[in-house]
Amino acid sequence: MSKLALVAGLAVLAMALRCCRHFAARKFGAFIFLVASFFALYFIFNQSVIAGLCGVIIWFFLPWIELLPRVRRLRLPLESRLRFRVPPADSFFPHAAEAVDAMDEEGFEHATDSGYEWAGMKQFFRIFWNPEKRAIATVCLCEQEKVAFAFISITSRDDDGRIFRTTNFPFSPTLKCGSEITWNQVPCECSCFHQILNAHHQFLDNLRVPEGDLRVPDPDEVVNEIEGEMRRQIDHNLAKGIIQLTGDGHFRYSFRGLFFLWRQFIRDMLRLC
């Protein structure tokens, strides 16, 4: 009973810490979950340290439950066209109203509303532009089954085709990015547009990219630029062996791509837990 009480107590403590708002407390709660898993198998298998370690390691292989039966069977289109879409209600678009108001305060003007559906996931974009700051700002809503989340991205481009992007997108990319794209990922808790814009300016300063080298965006071409970037990313991942063609205008993840996704899952587990 004392062994059961120890494991149960650790599990309750872990759940309590996971409910805290403080980032360090949630991290510590995730660690306590691993400790509880260790002792659960440690006691079940007659105080075997190897069994306890297996109880910890098994958490890192859970993504394969999703990768092998579902992701491996996905067939994704090579060409994804963005279409005009009516903005969803604010109740389905977290922080959209606040972000739009902040963009207006910073001098960003509305360019277009667009979106697409891809492998059962819907993405809606509200796109804004600012010629003085030489940047495109996007508020994006992602919906998949019953899960929805929103994020903000700020993108600048130079005349050499390089792309500089700051975003609070909460997950690691599911495809590799080309060498022309440089990412600056801020914490997903940072949902204030003013803070993200300041982080973008600091990002450009750290890279020593003068504002004069940045290209003034064209609001009439922003959709074409997004589509072109998506296609170049697909071509880059085909060349890297992350994805492979299926012969019917679609592609799927290769086994190498599944291991890439697994590493991305692990990164998110360690970063977001």
State the burial class of residue 189 (Cβ atoms within 10 Å of its Cβ: 0-12, 13-18, 19+).
exposed
For residues 44-55, average pLDDT? 89
List Cβ neighbours of 7 (8 Å cut-off, separation of 6 or more): 36, 39, 40, 43
Burial 7-19 (b: 16+ CB within 10 A, else e): beebbebbeebbe
Segment 65-119, tens digit of pLDDT: 989 888 888 888 887 777 777 766 666 676 777 888 899 999 999 998 888 876 6
The owner of tokens 């297996």 is: 54
Q: Which of 110, 204, 91 is nearest to 157 (CA)?
A: 204
The owner of tokens 């994805």 is: 243
List Cβ neighbours of 202 (8 Å cut-off, separation of 6 or more): none
Segment 137-156, tens digit of pLDDT: 999 888 876 677 889 999 99
Q: Alpha carbon of 49 to those of 40, 54, 164, 185: distances in Å?
A: 11, 9, 47, 38
* All structural domains of the chain with their residue ranges: 2-61, 82-254
For the cut 80, the answer to whether the pLDDT of residue 121 exceeds it is: no
Mean pLDDT of the chain: 86
For the cut 70, the answer to whether the pLDDT of residue 120 exceeds it is: no
Q: Which of 161, 175, 165 is nearest to 138 (CA)?
A: 165
For the cut 70, the answer to whether the pLDDT of residue 177 exceeds it is: yes
- What confidence tier does 217 reach under pLDDT thresholds 50, 70, 90? very high
For residues 124-133, average pLDDT? 91
For residues 127-144, average pLDDT? 90
Q: What is the pLDDT of residue 268?
A: 84
- The answer to pTM > 0.85 is no
- What confidence tier does 273 reach under pLDDT thresholds 50, 70, 90? low
Residue 52 tokens, joined:
């306890």
Pairwise CA distance, residues 59 & 55, whole Å: 7
Residue 69 tokens, joined:
């039966």
More confident residue, 50 or 19: 50
